[in-house]
Amino acid sequence: MPQQNLFIHKVLNRLDKIDPAQVRQYVTELHHTASQLADIIEAVHEGILLMDRTGQIKFYNRQAALWLQIPDAPHRTLSIHNPIFDAQLSRILSHSLNTSTVAQSDISLLTPRELTFRVSISPMTNFNDWLLITLEDMTAEKSSLQLYEQLARTESLMKLSAGIAHDIGNPLNSIGIHLQLLRQDIASLSAADKKKIASKISVIESETARLDKIIKDFLKATRKHPLRVKNENLNRVVEEALRFMRPELLEGNIQALVTRDDKLSPFLFDPDRIYQCCLNLIKNALEAMPKGGRLDIVVSHKNKIASISFKDTGVGIRDDVLPHIFEPYFTTKKEGSGLGLMTVFNIIQEHGGRIDVQSKAAKGTDITLILPMRQPKLQLPTPQSRPV
């Protein structure tokens, strides 16, 4: 038995012999400690639950109530067999009712967007033999790991492709020049021969032009110029992009809405390139909803981080497709270029931001651009501009 409990037992056995003032002081101290502990349990970022060995949740903190979407009532108790309790978690907890060892597993819950949690279950031998269950949000770790892997893959692919694209440029130029020379050479041939050869030259010319366009588009998409940052209002850029796409969205039977963040002050970013990102994402959303639907664009900020979320009710992205969407030339569309998201990825990277993608096949996609809000440096007056 732990020290504290031994002490309490001694006190309880001799309660009638102790000075009432001392008892009052002790109870006050105990109450103080208990309410401090309760405050701590409510303030931690983890979800905390206590379960007895019959599957009754005897206590859960506010974070657990929020994530599991269970009532945040004053006496938080609930059975894990209650249908409002998440089925996945209920299954895991049922399996551990008789456990005497610490167990851990990861689960995904929709609360209301998909989050990944690490569930840890530990027996509390000194506390009625109940089980302590903690829920830790692992979503950021999981998506940043995925993003890091994606980044590494995309970067190496891009380096390789940009090198090849550049090298193809030179022979392509030379082919173009020789085709022109060939046209001059055939001028002296008979009309019949000239016609025969000229039509073949035309085919080669048009194919060469096509190749040239592919290469130029690729180099344009991968070229990194320095950012031209300005102290801009993000709401304005997003609204402008939507205004530009509005006719196409209307034609596609898509209801699109921007929720501005009026408390968001201007910060440093490249407005032209963020505009380009917005166009690409709106275009993708449009293409994901061939039968019409809804596009919600939400601008928001928190702790010097601004974000724009593009949430559509489109076809969604299958789990096996998701890891590839930022790769150059990756497309699932007949007429797709596969360069849109790669461009977005590069631009957001250059801004020191990141992209969060949540998608469910047949339900829709939510792509969020996350940007650090850099502020212009305070301009100190130069000696010349100082008033004399």
Please state, as a whole number, how many other Cβ atoms lie within 10 Å of the Cβ of residue 48.
17
CB 254 to ligand ADP: min, Å: 12
CA-CA distances (angstroms) from residue 299 to 112, 148, 237? 19, 25, 11
* Contact characters 237-276, ligand ADP, x per CB under 6 A: ----------------------------------------
* Contact characters 330-359, Mg ion, x per CB under 5 A: ----------x-------------------
Backbone angles phi, psi at 311, to 5 degrees: -115, 120
Backbone angles phi, psi at 122, to 5 degrees: -130, 130
Give which of ligand ADP, Mg ion, none residue 327 binds (C-beta under 5 to 8 Å, depending on kind). none
CB 300 to ligand ADP: min, Å: 19
> In the complex, which residue's CB is closest to ligand ADP?
340
Residue selected from 50, 221, 315, 347 as contacting ligand ADP according to rule CB under 6 A: 315
> In the complex, which residue's CB is closest to Mg ion?
340
Contacts of 269 (CB under 8 A, 6+ apart): 227, 229, 230, 232, 234, 351, 371, 374
Enter the tokens of residue 10.
């001694």
314 binds ligand ADP (CB under 6 A): yes
Q: Please answer whether residues 327 and 337 qualify as being in contact, where contact means their C-beta atoms are separated by less than 8 angstroms.
A: no
- Write the DSSP assignment of 60-128 as a string of letters: E-HHHHHHHT----SS--EETTSTTS-HHHHHHHHHTTT--S-EEEEEEEESSSEEEEEEEEEEETTTT
Identify residues 347-366 at the interface with ligand ADP (CB under 6 A).
365
Instruction: Considering only the stretches 45-53, 73-81, 276-284, 354-362, report the one whose residues sit in contact with Mg ion under the rule CB under 5 A.
Output: 276-284
Contacts of 18 (CB under 8 A, 6+ apart): 11
CB 276 to ligand ADP: min, Å: 12
Give which of ligand ADP, Mg ion, none residue 59 binds (C-beta under 5 to 8 Å, depending on kind). none
CB 235 to Mg ion: min, Å: 24
Q: Please answer whether residues 351 and 269 qualify as being in contact, where contact means their C-beta atoms are separated by less than 8 angstroms.
A: yes
* Closer residue to ligand ADP, CB minimum distance, 123 or 316: 316
In the chain, what is the greatest distance between 2 CA atoms, to the nearest angstrom? 129
Residues paired with residue 123 on neighbouring β-strands, in sequence order: 131
330 binds ligand ADP (CB under 6 A): yes
Long-range Cβ contact pairs of 145-148 (< 8 A, separation 24 or more): 146/323, 147/354, 147/355
CB 335 to ligand ADP: min, Å: 8
Residue selected from 109, 237, 274, 317 as contacting ligand ADP according to rule CB under 6 A: 317
Q: Please answer whether residues 48 and 63 qualify as being in contact, where contact means their C-beta atoms are separated by less than 8 angstroms.
A: yes
Residue selected from 150, 235, 284, 358 as contacting Mg ion according to rule CB under 5 A: 284
337 binds ligand ADP (CB under 6 A): yes
Chain residues binding ligand ADP by CB under 6 A are 280, 284-285, 288, 312, 314-317, 321, 325, 330-333, 336-342, 365
